[in-house]
Structure 1
Amino acid sequence: MSDIIAHGGIGQGYRRRLAALLPAAHLAYVLLIWPLVYARGYVPADLATGPVAEAQPALLNRLFFPALAVLAVILLVAERHRIGRFRLFGACLLLAFFGYLALTAAWALAPSTTLTRLSLYVLLILSLIPAVLLADCLDDVLRPMFWVTVAAVVVNVVSIAVIPTTSIGFPGIYTHKNALGANAAIAGLFAIYAMTRADHRIRVAGFLCLPAILGLLLISHSKTSLGLLLLVPPTAVLAVAIRRRLRISLPILMVILTIPAAFLVSGGIPGFDYRDVSRAVSGDPTFTGRTDLWKFSATHIAERPLTGWGFQSFWGIGPASPASRMTDTFIARAPHSHNGYVDMALEGGVIAVAMLLSIILMIAWWIDRLVDRDVGAGILMTSCLFYLLWQNLLETDWLHGMTTSNVIFMLMMVSAVTLRNGRALT
């Protein structure tokens, strides 16, 4: 036994299991720990009726993210003989992207805000690397994440008895009903994934969670999240089926599907454009006021089209923000433009948008290989990617806030650029 311990047999297994839990730990932080500790210090963000109270969980962030990053470094050093390597192009792309976002602090309206918020994402990525490099398979990483979503669903269902519904919908343990909607929708994607697993306990848990998730979405009045949960999984299944049957790679398929959709909503058909889509979905041709935000953002993108105004250095930075000087109170109070692509262009210019789209295609290539080895995990990752792509059309989620979506996006980033034993994590 001492020989086994000396050669790291038991220690290696323990460290691999611990590394596989790191993404679940981050998911637990954004789904449960942060909301239960801080969310009650916020006023629900109903921008139409009043200002949003600010409360920054700086202390908890400063403890949690560095602690997990240090643990990640320790695991990597301890298991340095087992870790794989990075794809050169993918690693260089990620370094260039985050390096450029850091560089925007040189011309940002609030440089300290840019660097502070970016540092959290860098720590997040660092703490996810051991899970991808040391886990035996992707399911070892996704299974603990699923159980975290189950716990979040249970806590939010219980919260119905103690948390009142706001005028715009039920927020659960979060600051806003849209946060509950987004987290419930992602939990729904994991529940569907659970029903593809061989373990009957996971299948049953996923099956039982789905009705509760749908109930939370209904009482939250988060129509976008409910619509995405109903639309994304069948689209992902169709995409995976086309990939496996017709051998059309996922990135190419995404481009093929995106071109006609963009043509349609941009007014390519006379008498039909995005306003008609909005009217059909919500009865409001302005996407509940978002078009005013987009016009305002487009004006300021035109002022700095190449480099932008600085990463997360435009909205919510006080008097320095051009938005704060607007007489339109909806724009002045807005935390972002409610469109992830617009905000990426606003904050990082064409350069940041081009690199973001390259990263998305890189992730799609990784998922393309994944579906050949694990269909269930492939469908989940395809669903998450479609969810992110579509969610950011009406909300800003690309690297805005430490959200469930961003934890998954970072995990996909790291997975797409790493190799173990000559192949990607599957």
Structure 2
Amino acid sequence: MMLAAPLPVDANHDLSAKLCGWALAGLLLIVIVGLGPLQAQKTMLSTGDGNIFRQALYILVFGFVIVSAKALQTPRIFLSPPLTLWILIAWCWISLSWSLEPSIAFRRLLLTTIIIWTVFMIVERTGYERAVRTALLTLLAVLLINYVMVVLFPHAGIHQAREVLDAGLVGDWKGALPQKNFAGAVCAITILLLIFAGGWLQPYLRLISIIATVFFLYKTGSKTSLALTFGSLVLGGLYLSYDPKFRALLIPATVITVGLAVLFGQFYWMDAIYTLSQGSALTGRGTIWGVLISYANDHWLLGTGYGSFWNIGVNSPVYYYTSTWVRLLGTGHNGYLDILVTVGVIGLLLTVLALVVAPLSRLLWSRTISRRSGALLISMLIFCIGHNFTESSVMDRDAIVQVFFMMTLALITISTRQPPEAPGPLYFAWTGRFKPLPNSRLAPSQDGESKA
């Protein structure tokens, strides 16, 4: 369910859309490259990410987008995010009332809200094609920067022994990004865009870009991104042959899937948790998850309040639930568990509804989106959903995958939106003199995608 109606102008050909396109490129460069040193992982003694320059920069971008998108002239652009996302954001704000560190949580949630709002307004104004092309060109520029860092400044572009706690990271490529897993995620998204939305590039340039991105992804050693890239490409390819006429089959398929998940939870949940809690499981992530699950068992309904588990200083609950190296971390390496321990089971359910169920339903049930666009969006959506099973970025400020997650949701929102209905027949319409004229904004294209 969307709150915003389509804007009354052709957003793809006016100055406003161009300015918002530049704002999108700038925002992505800031998130991926520009603030790399400020995104680096911090130890638990840090209260984390309170840099005034960082916050001021995003506020300036937000203000620029408000002006560029003509939001004051068309206030409904402020309602671009779907209702399910608004409800999730509202619950996060409500959670500040029981937050362990409300001042820190307030700053973090304000930044998260501003970035979500910014991304949705940009995509609403620029439209699908311009937003996707701008993102791809920006990511190709980042790829070039990453190679420059690796070749000319290897001490900064490749993980060195002196800078990492995990010796397994030594030698992995990270380019201009603060960590190899971030670089891997950026490469993965670049590949998806090149495969499903890079047809406008020269064939040789597209092929070279794909090879270069795949090689860099391999050199990052990011296993999560490597596996998810392959899986997302497969699902995106399957969407190309998906026929929405078969959507009725989704209901029994969903019931069966949920039923199997419930049976698995009843019979194997505790065994699975015990296995994952062993230190060797998933490169140590199981140990982290065990701590989070222990806390969630005791505070399952409300949690700590948004942004109040990691990086809040000595008051963090992690100190009461473990004495291991987990104390040194700033993330749970699972976005859904981090949501569970901060905003409780209600927040987790709202998260799954807003970020998984609702967008997937729109993609699978829509009759207006083209298969080409749907293939890209479902592949990006699956990547962002899957990435948060081993990394944390859901509703986390300017985390790279979080920003692309919101961009994907915004693109899904405008791509699956029903076009406005034509005006009803006027008086004397029976004479044939008042037939509605063809409207290029509302007419579907040959592949079924609205031009709005």
TM-score under structure 2 length normalisation: 0.76
How far 1:247 moved relative to its partner?
Answer: 4.0
Residue in structure 2 matched with residue 3 of structure 1 by the alignment = none
Shift of 1:94: 2.5
Question: Using a 3 Å threshold, how does the CA distance of structure 1 residues 417 and 228 change in structure 2: closer, same or farther?
Answer: closer
Give the corresponding residue for 2:359.
363
Instruction: Report the counterpart of residue 402 of structure 1 in structure 2.
Output: 398
Q: Provide the rounded CA distance (Å) in 1 between the counterparts of 2:369 and 2:412.
A: 15
Mark the runs of 5 or more structure 1 residues left unpaired by the alignment: 1-7
Measured after TM superposition, the shift of residue 242 of structure 1 is 3.4
The code of the aligned residue for 2:111 comes to: L
Q: Is the 8 A contact 2:45 2:312 kept in 1?
A: no
SS of alignment partner, residue 287 of structure 1: helix
Q: Per residue, is there more helix in 1 or in 2?
A: 1
Q: 1:405 to 1:79 in 2, by over 3 A?
A: same
Match 2:58 to one of 52, 65, 68: 65
SS at match of 2:283: coil
Measured in 1, the distance between the counterparts of 2:63 and 2:392 equals 30
Indicate yes or no: 2:29 matched with 1:28.
yes
Q: Which amino acid aligns with 1:363?
A: P
Selected match of 1:93 from 79, 84, 88: 84
| Alpha-carbon distance, 1:147 to partner | 0.4
Q: Over the residues paired in the alignment, what is the CA RMSD in angstroms?
A: 3.8
Query: What is the CA deviation profile of residues 333-354 of structure 1, one whole-angstrom value per residue up to 9, with x for unaligned ones?
Result: 1222211111111111111111
**Does structure 1 residue 143 correspond to structure 2 residue 133?**
yes
Superposed displacement of residue 30, structure 1: 1.4
Asked if structure 2 preserves the Cα contact closer than 8 Å seen for 1:310 and 1:348, the reply is: yes
Report how far residue 153 of structure 1 moved. 0.9
SS state of the match for residue 308, structure 2?
coil
| Alpha-carbon distance in structure 2 between the residues aligned to 1:382 and 1:72 | 27
Matches within 5 A, 1:344-363: 344-359=339-354, 360-363=356-359
Equivalent in the alignment of 1:313? 308
Within 5 A, what are the aligned runs for 1:254-265? none
What's the offset of the Cα at 1:274? 8.3
Between the aligned partners of 1:314 and 1:284, the Cα distance in structure 2 is 21
How many aligned positions are there? 400
**Equivalent-residue separation in structure 2 for 1:55 and 1:187 (angstroms):** 29
| Overall identity of the aligned pairs, in % | 19
Q: Output the CA distance in 2 between the equivalents of 1:16 and 1:250.
A: 37
Query: What is aligned with 1:304?
Result: 299
Query: Once the 2 structures are TM-superposed, how far is the Cα of residue 56 of structure 1 from its aligned partner?
Result: 4.3
SS at match of 2:99: coil
The aligned counterpart of 1:183 is 186
Q: For 2:177 and 2:335, how far apart are their aligned partners in 1?
A: 21
Residues 413 and 200 of structure 1, relative CA distance in 2, 3 Å threshold: closer
Task: State the Cα distance separating 1:301 from its structure 2 match.
Answer: 0.9
Amino acid at match of 1:212: A
Distance 2:129 2:272 in 1: 41
Deviations 1:343-396 (A, max 9, x none): 111111111111111112221233336685332221111011111221111111
Distance 1:67 1:341, change over 3 A: same
Task: Tell me by how many angstroms 1:330 deviates.
Answer: 2.0
Tell me, yes or no, if the aligned pair for 1:20 and 1:141 is still in contact at 8 Å.
yes
Q: Quick one: which amino acid aligns to residue 214 of structure 1? A: V
Selected match of 2:105 from 111, 114, 133: 114
Pair 1:53–1:412, CA change in 2 (3 A): same
Residues in 1 aligned to 2:328 and 2:249: alpha-carbon distance in whole angstroms: 42
Matched, 1:154 2:157: no
Q: Which residue of 1 aligns with 2:241?
A: 241
Partner of 1:323 in structure 2? 318
8 Å CA contact retained: 2:20, 2:69: no
Q: How far is the alpha carbon of 1:332 from its aligned partner?
A: 0.6
